[in-house]
């Protein structure tokens, strides 16, 4: 069996978003609206205290002349121990999730999926997998091209990466020579970023396989250079951007669920409607709403689900669909809620001939206690540094990116941003992803389509602003995505067929052939088996974007101008992953921070 790839590089070391200190919040966090300072006027009201919202609030409040209020639906994350432990990102903490589901997905055999969106201060940055990946040169250059604003280009966003990243040493200061390129990183930003601190059992095998296979599997020293082909405590937007310097001009109100934005009375504007007032509640059962008005802007930071939901409930969207849902249309913007893009993934668990995995941490309380003692460090285990052991890292120490074959792109088209952008991501995990079975030890090889062609939507079907929206990601509804995921398995099996894995893998995941059978099966039979497995096993990587996408200033489509203002209205912006016109080829946390850093600069400049 022979495959041809345009370009790909494998087995780069993962960088993690972390924080080496517990940082107290600079904001005052309030539980009740009545506790807010009496008579205080807010210049900016931010709807959503997640990854984007808190970072933006921090940057805006650097100007002492600005008073900023953040409205967050969930409770505070301050002092929640489980979310500070990096490895616990492998656990389903449903008490901190919106517990949303998708509509039935025709591309997934008419299955519906759990759709992770985090319900806690800091949002997904408080619970995600912590991967620090910037995406590619072409991703940001495509943003610039689509919007007509060169400020979104790769070269021009470097200043915002510098504001975001603070590269620090891993816990224990291990030798990291050759594992990253220091010349492409920054040391003065807000978010602590580090290489993994704990070597996993499979690390040497992964790197040995890459070196032995060479070619498309060759080692890429740093996937964050813009060419991605080829501890400590978690760092969230809470720990990174709410510093220990007290600011009395930044308030955060938790348990405050935003329903809509409403036109501000007596506001003269040439744009038509001015939206500077927010309706929210602290009790969704009693039907009472509180209004707060920003003197300058309301900024929605609700994410790819929450932001379009707020806009639609405000009468901003497709007028016909809004009327059908019982909502009075105010601004006809048909693109609101459309263009939903998410990265489909499969966590493929191979039964392994070892007991040196992380599986017992997630199913054996004694093993977990030992790992926690090691991670807590010197006060619990003399002579052992804080952040030591397996709990100091996330579930993968390496990450690899690939472009698919020219045959595939020639047949279906190329849906990546360009030649520097991969279509696929594969990363190994030393154990079963999430909760393992009661017996057995596993090697997880996660496959992801990072540049998918499929698109979906976020819609509402009634006038209750707190009814969960209809989430239809449209997974695998474009043939390219199915073909790309199948090609990921051809890449994966070739990698696992390297001699370093001999006698290590005992059984494949249910539904996949053994490694020897993969290379001897009839091609038609193999293709059918892979297609069935992909259809029945694909889930969400939880990287949804695009539902309030920006476009060029005078474009007839899109929701936001390149400065992230909502088209055709005054006083309203959206700053979060919903603004991305396309999903980046990376995990989305770092691109969100880049958007925030540039948005903060744009907003500050507009109100000087």
Terminal-residue alpha carbon distance, the chain: 63
Phi and psi at 442, nearest 5°, equal -135, 155
**Which is the catalytic residue, given 185, 211, 411, 587?**
587
Q: How many Cβ atoms are within 10 Å of 509's Cβ, its own excluded?
A: 16
Report d(CA 495, CA 64) in Å as an integer: 55
Question: How far from chain centre, in Å, is Cα 33?
Answer: 30
Q: What share of the chain is helix, strand, coil (3-state, %, to 5)?
A: 30, 20, 50
The answer to whether the beta carbons of residues 47 and 299 sit under 8 Å apart is: yes
**Which is the catalytic residue, given 185, 211, 411, 543?**
543
Nearest to 354 by CA among 200, 199, 198: 200
Question: How far from chain centre, in Å, is Cα 126?
Answer: 11
Dihedral angle over CA of 56, 57, 61, 62, nearest 10: -40
Report d(CA 223, CA 100) in Å as an integer: 32
> 260 exposed, middle or buried (CB, 10 Å; 0-12, 13-18, 19+)?
buried
Length of the chain: 608
Phi and psi at 498, nearest 5°, equal -65, 150
Report d(CA 343, CA 127) in Å as an integer: 18
Annotated catalytic residue 211: no
> 194 exposed, middle or buried (CB, 10 Å; 0-12, 13-18, 19+)?
buried
Beta strands in 389-459 (DSSP E): 398-402, 424-429, 442-449, 457-459
Annotated catalytic residue 411: no
Residue 71, token pair as written in the block: 């409205």
Residue 472, token pair as written in the block: 């239809």
> Could you tell me the CA-to-CA distances from 590 to 125, 224, 597 in Å, in that order?
10, 10, 11
Nearest to 126 by CA among 50, 24, 74: 50
Report d(CA 3, CA 17) in Å as an integer: 35
258 annotated as belonging to a binding site for a ligand: yes
The answer to whether the beta carbons of residues 550 and 562 sit under 8 Å apart is: yes
DSSP β-bridge partners for residue 352: 505
Tell me the Ramachandran region of residue 165: left when phi exceeds 0, alpha when psi lies from -120 to 50, beta otherwise.
Answer: beta
The answer to whether the beta carbons of residues 27 and 251 sit under 8 Å apart is: yes
* β-strands 275-281, 290-300 pairing: antiparallel
Report d(CA 575, CA 286) in Å as an integer: 30
**Binding site membership for FAD: which residues?**
258
Q: What are the catalytic residues?
A: 543, 587
**Binding site membership: which residues?**
258
């Amino acid at each position: 069996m022979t495959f041809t790839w345009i370009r790909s590089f494998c087995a780069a070391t993962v960088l993690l978003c972390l924080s080496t200190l517990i940082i107290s919040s600079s904001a005052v966090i309030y539980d009740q609206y009545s506790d807010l300072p009496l008579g205080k006027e807010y210049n900016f009201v931010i709807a959503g205290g997640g990854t984007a919202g808190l970072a933006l609030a921090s940057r805006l409040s650097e100007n002492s002349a600005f008073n900023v209020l953040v409205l967050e639906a969930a409770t505070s994350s301050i002092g929640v121990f489980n979310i500070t432990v990096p490895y616990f990102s492998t656990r389903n903490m449903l008490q901190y999730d919106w517990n949303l589901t998708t509509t039935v997905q025709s591309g997934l055999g008419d299955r519906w999926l759990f759709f992770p969106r985090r319900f806690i201060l800091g949002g997904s940055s408080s619970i995600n997998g912590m991967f620090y990946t910037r995406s590619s040169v072409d991703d940001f250059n495509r943003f610039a091209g689509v919007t007509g604003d060169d400020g979104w280009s790769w070269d021009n966003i470097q200043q915002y990466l510098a504001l975001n990243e603070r590269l620090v040493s891993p816990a224990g200061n291990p030798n990291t020579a050759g594992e990253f390129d220091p010349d492409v990183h920054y040391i003065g930003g807000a978010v602590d970023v580090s290489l993994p601190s704990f070597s996993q059992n499979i690390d040497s095998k992964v790197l040995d396989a890459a070196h032995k296979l060479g070619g498309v599997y060759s080692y890429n020293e740093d996937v964050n250079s813009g060419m991605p082909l080829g501890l400590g405590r978690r760092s969230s937007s809470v720990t990174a951007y709410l510093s220990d310097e007290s600011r009395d001009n930044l308030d955060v109100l938790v348990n405050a669920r935003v329903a809509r934005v409403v036109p501000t009375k007596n506001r003269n504007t040439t744009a038509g409607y001015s939206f500077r007032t927010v309706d929210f509640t602290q009790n969704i059962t009693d039907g009472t709403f509180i209004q707060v008005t920003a003197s300058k802007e309301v900024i929605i930071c609700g994410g790819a689900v929450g932001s379009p939901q707020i806009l639609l409930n405000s009468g901003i969207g497709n007028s016909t669909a809004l009327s059908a849902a019982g909502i009075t249309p105010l601004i006809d913007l048909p693109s609101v809620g459309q263009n939903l893009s998410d990265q489909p993934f499969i966590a493929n668990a191979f039964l392994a001939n070892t007991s040196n995995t992380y599986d017992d941490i997630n199913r054996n309380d004694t093993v977990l206690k030992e790992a926690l003692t090691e991670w807590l460090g010197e006060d619990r285990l003399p002579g052992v540094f804080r952040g030591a052991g397996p709990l100091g890292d996330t579930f993968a120490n390496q990450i690899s990116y690939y472009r698919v074959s020219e045959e595939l792109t020639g047949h279906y088209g190329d849906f990546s941003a360009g030649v520097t952008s991969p279509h696929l991501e594969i990363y190994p995990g030393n154990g079963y992803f999430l909760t393992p079975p009661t017996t057995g030890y596993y090697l997880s090889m996660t496959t992801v389509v990072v540049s998918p062609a499929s698109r979906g939507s976020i819609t509402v079907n009634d006038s209750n602003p707190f009814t969960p929206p209809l989430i239809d990601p449209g997974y695998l509804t474009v043939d390219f995505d199915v073909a790309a995921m199948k090609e990921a398995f051809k890449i994966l099996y070739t990698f696992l067929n390297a001699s370093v894995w001999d006698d290590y893998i005992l059984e494949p995941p249910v539904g996949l052939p053994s490694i020897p059978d993969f290379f001897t099966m009839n091609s038609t039979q193999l293709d059918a088996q892979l297609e069935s497995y992909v259809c029945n096993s694909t889930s969400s990587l939880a990287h949804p974007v695009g539902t309030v996408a920006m476009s060029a200033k005078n474009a007839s489509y899109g929701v936001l101008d390149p400065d992230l203002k909502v088209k055709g209205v005054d006083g309203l912006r959206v700053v979060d992953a919903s603004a991305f016109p396309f999903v980046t080829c990376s995990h989305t946390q770092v691109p969100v921070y880049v958007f925030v850093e540039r948005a903060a600069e744009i907003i500050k400049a507009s109100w000087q």
